[in-house]
Amino acid sequence: MHELKDLYQEVIVDHNRSPRNFGKLAGANRVLEGYNPLCGDRLTLYLNVKDNKIENITFDGSGCAISVASASLMTETIKGKSTGEAEGIFHSFHDMVTTDSGEPDFDKMGKLVAIAGVRDYPTRVKCATLCWHTLHSIIQGERASVSTE
């Protein structure tokens, strides 16, 4: 249980118990499901994008605490940002969880630093980045697909 103890910081526990922006988004014009077969995390993102601005973003689905907390934190961070800004944050986040050196930069990353601990657990990195890869795919223009589960 050491892994859980180290990872499940207060912010992660809170966002897993009470995920922000959770549920389908009425009027979403971009929808994409992301799946992490290693862990079984399955999350769908709903975005309303207008003039390259992410006016609203929600998610639903189910997954482990890390994947849900990461998605919750991501929606809080990304809502209202331009797609270009969101891409920049995606790359910064990806670097943060895949790079071993250095303290996470709170000024730059804000609450997202709560997820930084996953970099010590390679299998968990995929849980934390699932929502971000899905967001990246949406911004890159992959065709919207709706979950058919």
- By CB under 5 A, residue 41 contacts Zn ion: yes
Cα-Cα end-to-end distance for the chain = 32
Taking CB under 5 A as the criterion, the residue among 12, 96, 127, 135 binding Zn ion is 127
Query: Which of 107, 108, 127 is closest to 117 using CA atoms?
Result: 127
Choose one: 10-18, 40-48, 70-78, 136-144; the region binding Zn ion (CB under 5 A).
40-48
Q: What is the DSSP secondary-structure string of 79-134?
A: TT-BHHHHHHHHHHHHHHHH--SS---HHHHGGGGGGGGGGG-HHHHHHHHHHHHH
Provide the minimum distance between the beta carbon of 50 and Zn ion in the complex, in angstroms, as a whole number.
32
User: Measured from the CB atom, is 11 or 64 closer to Zn ion?
Assistant: 64
What is the pattern of x (binds Zn ion, CB under 5 A) and - over residues 51-80? -------------x--x-------------
Q: Which helix (H) or strand (E) holds 17?
A: helix 10-17
List of residues contacting Zn ion (CB under 5 A): 39, 41, 64, 67, 127
